[in-house]
Amino acid sequence: MVTKQYPVIWLQGAGCTGCSVSLLNAVSPRIQNLLLDELVPGQQLSLIFHATIMAGQGEPVIRVLKDAQQNRKGGYILVVEGAIPTAEGGRYGSVGEMDGQEITIKQSVAELGRNALLTIAVGTCAAFGGIPAAKPNPTLCKGVKDLFNEERIDTPVVNLPGCPLHPEWFTGTISVILFSGADALQLDDLARPTLFYGKLVHENCPRRADFDKGKFAQKLGDPGCLYQLGCKGHYANADCPLRQWNNGLNWCVKAGSPCLACVEPEFPDNTSPLYEKLTFEDIK
């Protein structure tokens, strides 16, 4: 049987590379399974560009991007990590150079996004702007969907926010796409798969009984619900309490930290001060 390959181009804009690090730490499947094995029989990802982990550099790797754009139209998946700086024509974020000309991340996301089968925005920065787009945002950072709307690009976008994203949110999304096609993904009105972002953190939190009884922690390290210490679990849609992080070992509230609603478009400006109580209306 011939294996069908899905080339993946992974571009990095304004961010900390934390989403790549999170994915590289995936346990099941491991990153090598994701990249080298047939995750679904007969179907395989083929990572052709990722600045952090690829060995190539210079113009030859920029040619890989140009080749995909021209010769693989509608046949590759574009993954974007990090926000897109758009001020002054995008000059605050660069992918590289070609023939002495700077190629900006803004230009690359727009050109490659226009011709992609699908675009996946990984992490809150790529999905909604995140920390790079926080006030005063001098580089006018934006999320992928905002850029696509401005540039009238209608390629479908799947948002996988999180600061960073959970590796299984990526591997799970890719698995659904390979098994059943992108149309099988049920998305919420922020283009997030409901499989991972369908329920409030607060609904499944083990400290929920304390919240209902009015037993609130007064300082970090106390037992009880963390609402008074700034927990935004009542606003955050993610399966962190059920899935947990680091291969099911721990997660924010279990580790004693309030949930900061890092998966929401209001993070971080409207979810701040991070360690002060904010109601739903304060954040919205």
> Where does this chain bind ligand SF4 (CB under 6 A)?
162, 201-202, 205, 207-208, 211, 225-227, 231, 233-234, 236, 238, 240, 251-253, 259-263
Instruction: Spot the catalytic one: 125, 141, 166, 234.
Output: 125
What is d(CA 206, CA 130) in angstroms, rounded to the nearest whole number? Answer: 27
Q: Which residue is nearest to ligand SF4 (CB)?
A: 233
Whichever of 192 and 202 has its CB closer to ligand SF4, that residue is: 202
- Rounded to a whole number of angstroms, the minimum distance from the CB of residue 125 to ligand SF4 is 13
What is d(CA 53, CA 21) in angstroms, rounded to the nearest whole number? Answer: 10
Long-range pairs, 242-248, Cβ under 8 A, ≥24: 242/204, 243/166, 243/168, 243/196, 245/166, 246/25, 247/27, 247/28
Q: Is 93 helix (H, G, I), strand (E, B) or coil?
A: coil
Q: How many CB atoms lie within 10 A of CB 138?
A: 9
Identify the CA nearest to 112 among candidates 83, 146, 75, 140: 75
Q: 194 is written with which tokens?
A: 């409901």
Identify the CA nearest to 81 among candidates 70, 95, 71: 95
Whichever of 90 and 268 has its CB closer to ligand SF4, that residue is: 268
Whichever of 22 and 86 has its CB closer to ligand SF4, that residue is: 22
Q: Is 16 assigned a catalytic role?
A: yes
- Rounded to a whole number of angstroms, the minimum distance from the CB of residue 127 to ligand SF4 is 13
- Rounded to a whole number of angstroms, the minimum distance from the CB of residue 267 to ligand SF4 is 8
Q: Is 141 assigned a catalytic role?
A: no
- Rounded to a whole number of angstroms, the minimum distance from the CB of residue 278 to ligand SF4 is 11
Q: Is 259 assigned a catalytic role?
A: yes
List residues with catalytic annotation: 16, 19, 125, 163, 202, 205, 225, 231, 240, 252, 259, 262
